[in-house]
Amino acid sequence: MTLRSADFESAVSTNSTTPAVRGASINRVMNFCSSCGARVALRIPDGDHLQRQVCTSCGTIHYENPKLVAGCVPEHDGRILLCRRAIEPRRGFWTIPAGFMENEETLQQAAARECWEEALARVEIGSLCAIVHVLHAHQVHVMFRAILAEPSYGVGVESLEVMLCAAAEIPWPEIAFPSVAFALHKYLEDRAAGTQGLHFKTIDMRLPDR
């Protein structure tokens, strides 16, 4: 699955926690229990320290944890594969292939699958390049290095355009997300230095009153 609206890091959360319970924010849109259909209520379960959505009937605690996004910087012959997004958020902006991890796949499989779905390109996933904690979106973005297995690519249904782009031609002002820009910058810096480092970044656009 490619990143869709209300997903990914540009979807700034408007959730907030009560002043007494700072920390992880909660999905206040949830009204009903997915197990039994009864109302849920915000409570701090026994032994916990954060508010959770707790079912008022069956007692199920609906934990919310960050989602993993896997992506890669695909290279062929010195150039980088970029996709122009056909979907919101950030439609029309450029990104590396990336999207939400599915159950029962590895991070590398997820990164390769996203590259196939968005750019019809087969890649060999390489070393880990960047881990970006996107706190406000409750996501962790994991970006690998990758090599195109063959110089073949196309335009997936969620892309408007796909290109192999020289480093000097990357359209930086039109890069869709800060995590993508970070991964690209670090990828290129490392490549120029002949290294393959692992780089961390934290992005936090939570509202200041929290």
- Compare residues 17 and 60 and give the one whose CB is closer to Zn ion: 60
d(CA 72, CA 142): 8
Shortest separation between residue 46's beta carbon and Zn ion, angstroms: 17
d(CA 94, CA 83): 5
Sequence letter at residue 20 = A
Shortest separation between residue 28's beta carbon and Zn ion, angstroms: 17
Handedness of CA 106, 131, 100, 207 (dihedral sign): positive
Shortest separation between residue 33's beta carbon and Zn ion, angstroms: 3
d(CA 162, CA 116): 12
- Compare residues 58 and 149 and give the one whose CB is closer to Zn ion: 58
Sequence letter at residue 131 = I
- Compare residues 1 and 61 and give the one whose CB is closer to Zn ion: 61
Shortest separation between residue 18's beta carbon and Zn ion, angstroms: 23
- Pairing state of beta strands 94-95 and 79-85? antiparallel
Shortest separation between residue 102's beta carbon and Zn ion, angstroms: 26
- Compare residues 2 and 51 and give the one whose CB is closer to Zn ion: 51
End-to-end alpha carbon distance in the chain: 31
Q: Which residues bind Zn ion (CB under 5 A)?
A: 33, 35-36, 38, 55, 57-58, 60
- Compare residues 62 and 199 and give the one whose CB is closer to Zn ion: 62
